[in-house]
Homo-oligomer: A and B are copies of this chain.
Amino acid sequence: MNLRASVFIATSLDRFIARTDGKLDWLDAANATVPEGEDCGYHAFFESIDFLIMGRKTYEQVLSFGKWPYGTKPVIVLSRNKIAIPEQLAQTVSDSSESPKDLCERLSKVGAKRLYIDGGITIQRFLAEGMINDLTITVIPVILGSGIPLFGNLKKDITLKHLATKTYDFGFVQLSYEVVKD
């Protein structure tokens, strides 16, 4: 399958992606220290992907922010049940109850080369099913103590190859890894 599934996410040093209630105040506070125009590679990454895959919770949180941040990029929301999609997003957002593997195979057949996998549960599902190819983790210089974890249980270890690490003057450290397939 000529398709890569990629994670691109910020975490606290203790690997939380949000507080237990989903709040991102700590990330917003950290982002406020980032110089204007610096996006830690997000735009370039976003340009490189064909589809954004997220879970229902992440989707609903993004909707709650008001402005839809993904432009015309096709977004697939993973959900066991059908979800409500506002009319203005009907052209780009769809839902799916497929497994990570089935979804990747279907999107590969329509020519997708790279997927952006987002949201805690969704990332954990893709990792657990061996469907993630690379991870870019931006470490925010804070320890939260509790929250929604990036990683979850696995049936077996995932071996990684370190690709690159970038440090930023404002204290962020961005680690990139490729998953070593068995």
Binding site for B on A (CB under 8 A): 13-15, 26, 127-128, 135, 137, 139, 141-146, 150-162, 164-165, 167, 171-173, 175, 177
Copies of the polypeptide in the assembly:
2
User: Is the pair B173, A14 in contact by a Cβ cutoff of 8 Å?
Assistant: no
Minimal Cβ-Cβ distance residue in B for A176: B173
User: Is the pair B165, A141 in contact by a Cβ cutoff of 8 Å?
Assistant: no
User: Is the pair A175, B127 in contact by a Cβ cutoff of 8 Å?
Assistant: no
User: Is the pair A141, B153 in contact by a Cβ cutoff of 8 Å?
Assistant: no
Find chain B residues with CB under 8 A from A151 CB.
13-15, 143, 145
Cα-based distance from A86 to B172 in the complex (angstroms): 45
Find chain B residues with CB under 8 A from A171 CB.
160-162
